[in-house]
Amino acid sequence: MRFPPSPVCPKCLSAAQSWKQASGKATLESWGDFHRAYLGGFNDALPYRVCLVRLEEGPLLVSNLVGESATAKLGAAVRVVFEKATDDITLPKFVLARAVVWRVPWPTGCSTGARPAVRKFHHEDTKNTKATACASRKAE
């Protein structure tokens, strides 16, 4: 798989190629904040965050890191979101695919006073959504 697309393969010059849908998952390779608009069309977007991501399929892609990204780290998992720029143009941008912390409610009937366990689950981990309550309850 290669990107950006071109009329022929840059290695063998073959024109035989097809489009494949990517997963939308990527890894954050770099990012920077733009405080100056080098092109007038970006005046209203300032400041904005440009990122370099490596798609799960391999190619590198320059895009924007959008949404809450104050905790961005090199190698962070990101996922694509699509932003409609015009009726004809939709841009792939990326958001952090960070873990969500589910805070377990204080277990009723727990007399030990132990703090309930807090576990982290990945955004896309829909199968493992069981939270662990106070470990001492198992002994009861």
Residues 6+ apart with CB under 8 A from 12: none
User: Which residue number, 14 or 86, has a Cβ lying nearer to Zn ion?
Assistant: 14
User: Which residue number, 2 or 115, has a Cβ lying nearer to Zn ion?
Assistant: 2
CB 116 within 8 A of CB 108: no
CB of 131 vs Zn ion, minimal distance in Å: 49
Long-range contacts, stretch 123-126, CB < 8 angstroms, 24+ apart: 123/79, 123/97, 123/98, 123/99, 124/97
User: Which residue number, 15 or 101, has a Cβ lying nearer to Zn ion?
Assistant: 15
Is residue 8 at the binding interface for Zn ion, with CB under 5 A as the rule?
no
Is residue 127 at the binding interface for Zn ion, with CB under 5 A as the rule?
no
Q: Which stretch binds Zn ion (CB under 5 A): 11-19, 49-57, 119-127, 130-138?
A: 11-19
Specify the DSSP class assigned to residue 34.
E
Residues in contact with Zn ion, total (CB under 5 A)?
4
CA dist., res. 96 & res. 71, Å (int): 9
Is residue 9 at the binding interface for Zn ion, with CB under 5 A as the rule?
yes
Q: Given candidates 4, 5, 12, 15, which one binds Zn ion under the rule CB under 5 A?
A: 12
- What are the residues binding Zn ion (CB under 5 A)? 9, 11-12, 14
